[in-house]
Amino acid sequence: MLLIFSSLWETIPSLSESTTNRISTAASTYALCCAISGAAFPDVAFQSDEETASRRSRSNSASTNMLERRMYRTRSARKLLRFDSEYDIQFTMGNSGLRQHYDTASKTGVLQISDRKLKDIPVEVFNLSEHLRNLDLSKNKISIVPDDLSRLKNLKQLNLSANHIEVLPDSLIYLKKLEMLNVSNNSICSLPSHFSNLNNLKQVYLSHNKFTEFPLQLLCLNNLEVVDLSNNKITRIPNGMTDFYAAELNLSQNEISTLSEDLHQAPRLKILRLEENCLSLDAVRPSLLRDSKIHTINLDGNLFETKQLVSVEGYNEYTERYTALKKKMF
């Protein structure tokens, strides 16, 4: 009998209130019988209603905490599963989308995979070496251009603008058919030493980089038409411009204070943009206005008012060329 009551008492916290009350009443009756008969009552602490309620409260609290922990783990697991599923879907869709681009490029020779958050040029690009003529990898996160680029022998247009590139590889010079190169909005400060071997280049876009000197590698490119070096830190135009063949040169928003003595001898230069530099009026040589082929020169935002150009020798010859162009246009 004592064993029964001891076992029952240990299980009280897990029993219902009515069952607990019945056990308490039976225990009280048994204790009275023991007192009358002189028998020993088992050494089990009989708890009051308050103590029983307290134990039940602690038990319920523990159960609640355990339930909350289980719910938290369940929610966390669901979030992880949902994240993994979404990632897998995006990754699969992204790869599937790129594969479709690769398949199309093998037929058209044009591959545009801009704004894809790519950190490296995918190896599949180089596997298209026999087909690619136009490659657009702009607006990604590419920091290194591998030497494998030289495999793209038939490439004519390469757009790597708005990436994280600091150095262009020497292998770039093996793209003999390249006509357009756009590496604007990067962190480039120089061109490969043999860049002038790219004889078919017509357009070179180098704006918003970190050039501090005019790249002499742009000289002797006989087919050059447009060069954009705006928004850099270039301080002067060096001598040697007799070998600069572009028709349009954009050097706006640099720090240029000195123009070369032979700039007027650039054989095909017709448009020269020098807005927002550090040029004084004296830096504009009369020969540039009088003897060059330039019909459009923009000098706004320098250290003088553009209307002051009227006082520079050769200004009349310059305006004649400008007027003749307008007449052809209209």
Q: Is the pTM of this model over 0.75?
A: no
Domain with CATH 3.80.10.10 in the chain: 101-329
Contacts of 134 (CB under 8 A, 6+ apart): 109, 110, 111, 112, 155, 156, 157
Lowest mean pLDDT among 72-81, 119-128, 148-157, 189-198: 72-81
Residue 290 clears pLDDT 90, i.e. is over it: yes
* pLDDT range class, residue 44, cuts 50, 70, 90: very low
Residue 219 clears pLDDT 90, i.e. is over it: yes
What does the pLDDT read at residue 327?
86
* pLDDT range class, residue 37, cuts 50, 70, 90: very low
For the domain made up of 101-329, give the CATH fold: 3.80.10
CA–CA dist 104, 109 (Å, integer):
8
pLDDT tens track for 137-191? 999 999 999 999 999 999 999 999 999 999 999 999 999 999 999 999 999 999 9
Q: Which helix (H) or strand (E) holds 219?
A: none
The whole-chain average pLDDT of the chain stands at 83
What does the pLDDT read at residue 330?
77
What does the pLDDT read at residue 54?
58
